[in-house]
Amino acid sequence: MAALGVAMLLLGPLGAVLWRAGGAGMPSPADWAALRFTVMQAALSAILSCGLAIPVARALARRRFAGRQALILLMGAPFILPVIVAIAGLLAIFGRNGLLNQGLALIGLERIDVFGLHGILLAHVFFNLPLAVRLLLEGWRGIPTERFRLAAQLDMPPGAMFRLIEWPMLRQRVPGILAVIFAVCLSSFAVVLILGGGPAATTVELAIYQAFSFDFDLGKAAVLSALQLGIVAGAAGLALVLARGRGMGGGLDRPVQRWDGGPWAARGDAAWIALTAVFIVTPLILVLVQGGATLLSMPLLVWQAAGVSILVALGSTLVAVPLAFALALPRRDVVEGVGLITLAASPLVLGTGMFLLIRPFAFPGNHVLVITSIVNAAMALPFVLRAISPELRAIEADYGRLADSLGMTGWARMRWLILPRLRRSLGFGAGLCAALSMGDLGVIALFPPPDAATLPLQIYRLMGSYQIEAAAGGSLLLTFLCFGLFFAFDRMGRDADT
Amino acid sequence: MKHLIYATGLVLATQAAAETPVLTIYTYDSFATEWGPGPQLETAFEEACGCDVNFVTVGDGAALLSRLRLEGESTEADIVLGLDTNLTAAAHETGLFAPHEVSADYDLPIEWTDDLFVPFDWGYFAFIGQDGAPQPANFRALAESDQRVLIQDPRSSTPGLGLLLWVKAAYGDEAPAIWEELSDNIVTVTPGWSEAYGMFLDGEGDLVLSYTTSPAYHIIAEDDATKVALPFEEGHYMQVEVAGMVAGTDQPELAKSFLDFLVSDTAQGVLPTTNWMYPAVSPEGGLPDGFDGLIEPSKALLLAPEEVAQTRNEALEEWRNALSR
């Protein structure tokens, strides 16, 4: 049912646009070039982010140090950072006047240029590496400590330990994470254009915008959007085929203790952790420094917009979390695939389609906040799903038979087995959803209401009126609110196991 | 239940209509914000007309026309405000607009003959840089210099499209060569004006594509005279912003009087310091102070509206090929 609802939410608007266009339109050679580039950069971004996340997550999983919890919490931050804020933060380091180039100039080296494919990958890794680390850490946490204890008793060499204990878990989790990052990067628009440095870095989303706004070729916009959906559906399918494997087995939930890794491994882990921390934290600090002074002198409108945004974010969370739960519960691959492809839906086509569907009954401009909440919920759905679905499968695989034998079904099973064990992931998922919905400009840009605005829209309005300083302050406020919501939900999930 | 809601809505709508007529104006987002001209124009016009002005906003000029085409004849718009001459030919083709009958003593660098659209403000595109920095005087000199330029994407931004047509209008068949020479000066191409301008203020580029009037904002609002527009010998491409009356309007008289109001002294006096463009008709008191020091291009470039579509597609192809290498 839930899957059907989501599919309708995606395909209904697409159909409406096609119907209005009176037929499909053929993509031009330039559109195909854009499609190839989009897929290429998304695939590279996914592989890089995930590949780097494995050693980082492994290091975090087997080391205990002061500030570890804080670092893990901060891992949620880059991903939910509003795009414009993140780009500013990255340019403050890697841009022409950025810290890196100032440092290079000091020691007499040539400046580096961040714009190009490497710039795109840098930004995408910045956004997605921490997300991948968080999702993988959940996987490591799912391995019962008894396994490591046994491995230590058998004096297992590190290679064997990886192969027998950690690899099966990775094999199960990594394809899904790759698919979700691929999908995120596929629909990435501003990052690719700004950091790509020119029209060679054109994405399908821009081609859709061009078809829609420039040529008013609705048929082509719909076809391009469908292509994008198809590619992500393919990636999701592939991920689900690859992500075979069983649960890690039950345990007594004792704290994880590990005995592997000599001094060299410890040094390696420390290096991975330190590098990641610097890479993630420096842009965040610079965002704070740049916007700090402007925070107190912002127009009232910015605060009002902040209030509106909080409501939109909570609304989205209220829609997305139960929906994701409903989609994950049947533990069926196809159903989860539906959840993933919402990521690839073009906001422009989705918004236009919804406009066409709603227009005969009501004036969409009057309901823009509700529409924004729902569309943002759909966009955040895949992340909530990725956070809770592997956990749910693991719970059923590891404890399902025990629960069956005890005759625990329905509400009792939910209350005593599923919810307590899922709480951490639910909190994380809800936090992601609230923060993403808060930070996303989304469809509201298509029907901006003159008398109200969400915070991201208000920031764009400030920027468009030369109010760059106030916009910087607004961005900082947005960042705080995104983190605040994320931390609050994430915390709620964590309190469960203390 | 549904019927009840519709019925209530209908009754309320009818009652409201009986009391005060509503003039619905579709415009782009920044026009109707707190800092744009919208609120002041609304107050001034409502005082005179005894009506209610209702702004409905979409992203930008191109999105404005798309919205109108989506709605077609069922649109609730009485006035569409904020298209420019790059869009008027396509707007003519929709057949959704009615002749305006407005006549005014326009202060435009070109002659105005369009019978469907009333020009309300205009500007020249220009590169903005820091005072005291090198100032190339034409595109070739710019290409030879090592100045780093931030531009906008012509597929998603009005100034971006302006630059594309500027190079094409000035150089014709040589435009691809100019773009190729410029390619190593271009830092990046942003989706919209705001991103490029913000990056310029952060020092990410030496020059940014904007309007000749941009320095006026910094002078008037920030008391900062360090931003200058670079005069180019080829002349500068123009943008003329227009408004038109929707043919199917249920308030034709009100719509006509709004278009008259738009070129009146009151409205024209508001535009320079809210929309940061030149007024289409010089207001009686002249231009505000920060505007007198602005550069005045030697030559105004503008393609005829009916040439835009063809030229645009050709120039876009050339631009993409030159910059994709």
pLDDT value for B155: 87
Would you give the DSSP letter of residue A98?
A: S
pLDDT at A395 over 90: no
Scanning B271-290 for CB atoms below 8 A from A yields 276
How far is Cα A339 from Cα A388, in angstroms, rounded to an integer? Answer: 12
Tell whether B178 and B214 lie within a shared domain. Answer: yes
CA distances from B122 to A213, B50, B238, B279, B285 (A): 22, 29, 7, 7, 18
Note the pLDDT of residue B10. 47
Provide ipTM, 2 decimals.
Answer: 0.80
**Strand, coil or helix: what is A408?**
coil
Measured in whole angstroms, how far is the alpha carbon of residue A14 from the centre of its chain?
23
Q: pLDDT digits over B95-151, tens only?
A: 999 998 888 889 999 999 999 999 999 999 999 999 999 999 999 999 999 999 999
Distance (Å, rounded) from C-alpha A145 to C-alpha A127? 31
With beta carbons under 8 A apart, name residues in chain A contacting B150.
none
Per the CB < 8 A criterion, the answer to whether B31 and B271 are in contact is no
Distance CA A141, CA A124 (A): 26
Residue B257 touches chain A, beta carbons under 8 Å: no
Question: Does one domain contain both B313 and B198?
Answer: yes
Structure-block tokens of residue A10: 């995606």
The helix or strand, by DSSP H or E, that contains position A227, with its residue range, turns out to be helix A218-242
The confidence score (pLDDT) of residue A43 equals 95
**B171 and B312 housed in the same domain:** yes
For residue A160, what pLDDT is reported?
79
Show residues of chain A in contact with B198, CB under 8 Å.
88, 463, 468, 471
Q: Which single residue is written with the structure tokens 């919804």?
A: A354
Q: How far apart are CA A454 and CA A445, in angstroms?
A: 10
d(CA A414, CA A410): 6
Q: What pLDDT sits at residue A365?
A: 66
Question: Which of B180, B194, B273, B321 has the highest number of chain A CBs within 10 A, making it the mutation to test binding with A?
Answer: B194
Please give the Cα distance from A102 to A306 (Å, whole number). 35
Taking contacts as CB-CB distances below 8 angstroms, the residues of chain A near B202 are: 88, 91-92, 95, 97
Supply the CATH classification number for the domain A2-497.
Answer: 1.10.3720.10
Same domain, B171 and B196: yes
Q: Please tell me the distance in Å from A131's CA to the nearest CA on chain B.
A: 26
Task: Identify the top-confidence range among A254-258, A316-320, A338-342, B136-140.
Answer: B136-140
Q: Closest Cα partner for B37 from B275, B281, B288?
A: B275
Per-residue pLDDT reduced to its tens digit, B252-276: 999 999 999 999 999 999 999 899 9
Q: Tell me the chain A residues in contact with residue B183 when contact means C-beta distances shorter than 8 Å.
A: 198
| B150 and B179 together in one domain | yes
Same domain, B243 and B316: no
- Nearest to residue A299, comparing CAs of B272, B26, B66, B34? B34
A168-200 tens-digit pLDDT: 888 888 888 898 899 889 888 778 888 888 888
What is the number of helices (H) and of strands (E) in chain A? 22, 0
pLDDT at B7: 46
Taking the C-alpha atoms of residue B288 and residue B104, their distance in angstroms, rounded to an integer, is 21
Contacts within 8 Å (CB) and 24+ apart, A252-258: A252/A144, A252/A145, A252/A146, A253/A144, A254/A145, A254/A146, A255/A145, A256/A61, A256/A140, A256/A141, A256/A143, A256/A145, A256/A148, A257/A145, A257/A148, A257/A149, A258/A62, A258/A148, A258/A152
Report the pLDDT value the prediction gives residue A78, as an integer from 0 to 100: 83
Higher pLDDT, A253 or B234: B234
pLDDT at B5 over 50: no
B161 and B275 assigned to the same domain = no
Residue count (chain A): 498
Question: Taking CB atoms and an 8 Å cutoff, what residues of chain B touch A464?
Answer: 29-30, 33, 192-194
How far is the C-alpha of B134 from the C-alpha of B145, rounded, in Å?
A: 9
Same domain, B254 and B232: no
Residue A72 to residue A281: CA distance in whole angstroms: 12
d(CA A498, CA B242): 64
Residues facing B301 on adjacent strands:
B237
**CB-based burial label for A452 (10 Å; 0-12, 13-18, 19+):** middle
What is the biggest distance separating any 2 CA atoms in chain B, rounded to whole angstroms?
70
CB-based contact B30 A356, cutoff 8 Å: no
Q: Are residues B74 and B203 in the same domain?
A: no
Give burial (CB, 10 Å; 0-12/13-18/19+) of A100.
middle
Mean pLDDT of chain A: 81
**Could you tell me which of A287, A299, A265, A330 has the C-alpha nearest to residue A455?**
A299
Domain count, chain B: 2
Which chain A residues are closer than 8 Å to B89 by Cβ? none
Q: C-alpha distances in angstroms, A368 versus A16, A296, A363, A447? A: 18, 29, 9, 7
Least reliable range by pLDDT among A44-58, A138-152, A244-258 = A244-258
The helix/strand/coil state of B128 is strand
Per the CB < 8 Å rule, is B319 touching A88? Answer: no
- Residue B89 falls in which region: left (phi positive, over 0), alpha (psi -120 to 50) or beta: alpha
Supply angle C-alpha B9, B14, B15, rounded to 5: 100
Alpha helices in chain B (DSSP H): 2-19, 38-49, 61-71, 88-94, 139-144, 158-171, 175-182, 193-201, 214-222, 252-262, 265-274, 305-324
Identify all chain A residues contacting B81, using CB atoms and an 8 Å cutoff. none
Residue A70 has pLDDT above 80, yes or no: yes
Smallest Cβ–Cβ distance between B156 and the set A91, A97, A206 belongs to A206
Q: Is B285 helix (H, G, I), strand (E, B) or coil?
A: coil
Confidence of residue A440 (pLDDT cuts 50, 70, 90): confident
Look at B324 and A199 and tell me if their CB atoms are within 8 Å: yes
Which tokens in the block code for residue A403?
A: 């629960």
- Partners of B56 in the beta sheet? B26
Q: Looking at the structure, tell me whether residues B118 and B146 fall in a common domain.
A: no
Q: Which residue of A has its CA nearest to B148?
A: A96
Same domain, B220 and B151: yes
> For chain B, how many residues are written?
325
Where helices occur in A95-209 by DSSP H, the ranges are 99-106, 117-141, 145-153, 158-161, 167-186, 190-196, 204-209
Encode pLDDT of A215-243 as tens digits. 888 888 888 888 888 888 888 888 777 77
**Residues B213, B180 contacting (CB under 8 angstroms):** no
Q: Write the residue in B194, B202, B323 that is nearest to A464 by C-beta.
A: B194
Asked whether the beta carbons of A258 and A179 are under 8 A apart, the reply is: no
Residue B54 belongs to domain with CATH number: 3.40.190.10
Closest CA to B284 of B256, B299, B265, B300: B265
Does B283 lie in the same domain as B222?
no
**What is the sign, positive or negative, of the torsion defined by CA atoms of B110, B111, B113, B118?**
positive
Contact A91 B199 (CB under 8 A): yes
Instruction: Give the domain extent around B110.
Output: 2-122+239-291
Those residues whose C-beta lies under 8 Å from the C-beta of residue A70, and which sit 6 or more positions away, are none
- pLDDT value, residue A245: 57
- Do B35 and B5 touch, CB atoms closer than 8 A? no
Residue A498 has a pLDDT of: 40
Q: Cα–Cα distance between A55 and A276 in angstroms, integer?
A: 11
Higher per-residue pLDDT: B234 or B156:
B234
Alpha carbon B96 to its chain centroid, in Å, reads 20
B57 with A448: CB under 8 angstroms? yes
Q: Cα–Cα distances in Å, from B163 out to A70, A468, B170, B189?
A: 48, 23, 10, 12
Closest residue of chain A to B61, computed from CA coordinates: A213
Is B198 close to A352, i.e. CB distance below 8 A? no
Can you tell me the distance from the alpha carbon of B13 to that of A455, in angstroms, rounded to the nearest whole number?
31
Q: A432 near A482, Cβ under 8 Å? A: no
pLDDT at B4: 45
Question: Nearest to residue B101, comparing CAs of B90, B114, B92, B111?
Answer: B114
- E strand spans, A235-358: none
**Taking Cα atoms as reference points, which of B221, B192, B205, B267 lies closest to residue B28?**
B192
DSSP per position, B218-251: HHHHH----EEEPP-TT-EEEEEEEEEEETT-S-
Q: What is the mean pLDDT of residues A414-442?
A: 83
Among B184, B201, B113, B192, which residue's Cα sits nearest to residue B149? B184
Of the candidates A125, A65, A67, A60, which has an alpha carbon nearest to the alpha carbon of residue A268?
A60
